[in-house]
Amino acid sequence: MNELLIRGRVLTFVDEPNGLEDTASYRYFEDGAVLVRAGRVVTSGPYDRVKGLATADAEIADHRPNLVLPGLIDTHLHFPQTQAIASYGAQLLEWLNTYIFVEEQKFAQPEHAAFIAGRFMDELISNGTTTAVAYCSVHPESVDAYFTAAEQRGMRMIGGKVMMDRNAPDALCDSPERGYDETRQLIEKWHNRGRAHYAISPRFAITSTPEQMEVSRTLVAEFPDCYVQTHLSENRDEIAYATSLYPDAKDYTDIYARYGLLGDKTLLGHCIYLDDREVSVLAETGAVGVFCPTSNLFLGSGLFDRDRFDRLGARWSVATDVGAGTSFSMLETMDEAYKVLHLQGQRLSPLNSFYRMTLGNARALGLDDRIGSLHAGADADIVVLDSSAKPAMELRMRTAKSLVEELFILQTMGDDRCVAEVYVAGKAMKAKAITRQGALAR
Ligand code: GUN
Ligand code: FE
């Protein structure tokens, strides 16, 4: 069986870092290697030891002096919004109506959905992201396009059809029955097929009637192994509107709680204006608050209060939220995350940033046995990062004195130019993006 020996400065986390000095939270091998066989990590560690375990004919990919890390993970974005990034001048509700609900209608056309799905996956890979959780459009065909493009590339991807039955154009609305039937069929078709996982996706309380929320509850009860994703507490006008539509609910969080949608497979985009009661409900149910810094700044939504989540013991993850998010790059996302927290007097250490993009997000998805670190048996989803990829970074790196400083430079100055190579289930992808080979290029 063909083996691949990936050599470089290997960095992988084993736990959440506590501050800048927490060397116990990660493993770092200056001359390290990852041995890959059949799409899985056999072992990772010092090059000499790992090399000793490889077969004589193992292929060697020498990435020195670059860093070798687990592939990055994005826990919330919208695949049909790929061409809507940088839509000018509006906050959430106006932005949805003016730009997004127009853009998403294009995904009724399977050819368009397939074209964008391919470009979307290649863009993730170019940015070092090997697993992501995305909303598709209301059209089942968009989900087929999404998972087909992921399967062609061998990627572990999570996604689902958005359910909406009010407060959106007719062309984007299903109904409680259709939302249920189509979601059920898509789960049966895609969930756990290869590396695909399904996310039941009522868009948010504003665009789902109580009847559709009931249907979501039924789906979650019938398919407890699926993810659930929705949006929560992103914008003050949104909160006022959502709570007015569900007058019996204590607050926005309680709307989802009442319909049984909160559990440890639930991902809640944004969670900016939650009070202690609401964050405590997330802590009790295990639901994850998803911090989307570039989106929250771009739409003028607000600042995610990470310390409140930590104080109350609630789980949180990080994500781009493209197309309100302005970049597919998790490095650029963590750069903005640092600034959002800094504005509130909170700190995000570079170690914690890199933990969050890898093992932290994998734990948020309950997938840390498979992705997010380079332990024996993990999927061989790997990113190779060049900290000197840009001239200004190369200059800055000359003065860097530690690994932690290098990570901070990478997150603050880096982007897709720093991604030297990406392996998906052990296959080198960066130079081989399917659309770059011309098949679908336009
Ligand atoms: N809330 C409901 N839908 C969306 C969306 O598509 N993007 C963002 N940022 N927030 C939402
Ligand atoms: Fe979103």
Predicted confidence (pLDDT) per residue in 91-142, tens digit: 999 999 999 999 999 999 999 999 999 999 999 999 999 999 999 999 999 9
Q: pLDDT averaged over the chain? A: 96
| pLDDT digit string, tens, across residues 149-204 | 999 999 999 999 999 999 999 999 999 999 999 999 999 999 999 999 999 999 99
In order, the DSSP letters of 260-285 are: T--STTEEEEE--S--HHHHHHHHHH
Looking at residue 152, its pLDDT comes to: 98
How many Å lie between the centroid of ligand 2 and the Cα of residue 382?
26
Q: How confident is the model at residue 1 (pLDDT cuts 50, 70, 90)?
A: low
Given a cut of 70, whether residue 439 has pLDDT beyond it is no
Q: What ligand 1 atom has the least distance to the C-alpha of 324?
A: 9
Return the pLDDT at 436: 38
Choose one of 93, 96, 256, 322 to mutate for the ligand 1 pocket test, by most ligand atoms within 8 angstroms of C-beta: 96
Residue 43 DSSP code: E
List all residues whose CB is within 6 A of at least one atom of ligand 1: 78, 92, 96, 100, 203-204, 231, 234, 295, 321, 324
Q: How confident is the model at residue 430 (pLDDT cuts 50, 70, 90)?
A: confident
Alpha carbon of 295 to ligand 2 centroid (Å): 8
302 CA to centre of ligand 1 in angstroms: 14
Residue whose entry in the numeric block shows the structure tokens 């998972």? 147
Do strands 40-46 and 382-385 pair parallel, antiparallel, or not at all (unpaired)?
unpaired
Percentage of the chain beyond pLDDT 90 is 96
Question: Any idea which ligand is nearest the CA of 208?
Answer: 1
In the reported structure, the alpha carbon of residue 92 is separated from the centroid of ligand 1 by a whole-number distance in angstroms of 7
Atom of ligand 1 nearest to the CA of 81: 6
pLDDT at 431 over 90: no
pLDDT tens-place string over residues 57-82: 999 999 999 999 999 999 999 999 99
> Please, are residues 220 and 236 in contact by the beta-carbon 8 Å criterion?
no
Q: What does the pLDDT read at residue 440?
A: 34
The pLDDT, as a whole number, for residue 433 is 44
Question: Rounded distance, CA 7 to CA 245, Å?
Answer: 56
> Looking at residues 251-258, what average pLDDT do you find?
98
- Distance between CA atoms of residues 73 and 157, nearest Å: 10
Indicate which atom in ligand 1 lies nearest the CA of residue 325: 9
Which atom, in ligand 1's list, is nearest to the CA of 234? Answer: 10
* Ligand number, closest to the Cα atom of 81: 1
What pLDDT shows up at residue 100? 98
Residues near 401 by beta carbon (within 8 Å), at least 6 away in sequence: none
Give the position, in ligand 1's atom list, of the atom nearest the Cα of 299: 9
**What pLDDT score does 19 carry?**
87
In DSSP terms, 427 is beta-bridged to 424
441 pLDDT more than 50: no
**Of the ligands numbered here, which is closest to the C-alpha atom of 205?**
1
Of 163, 234, 252, the one to substitute when testing ligand 1's pocket (max ligand atoms within 8 A of C-beta) is: 234
Distance (Å) from CA 57 to ligand 2 centroid? 46
Mean pLDDT, range 371-390, rounded to an integer: 98
- 173 C-alpha vs ligand 2 centroid, how far in Å? 18
3-class secondary-structure state, position 409: helix
Q: Whose CA is nearest to atom 8 of ligand 1?
A: 324
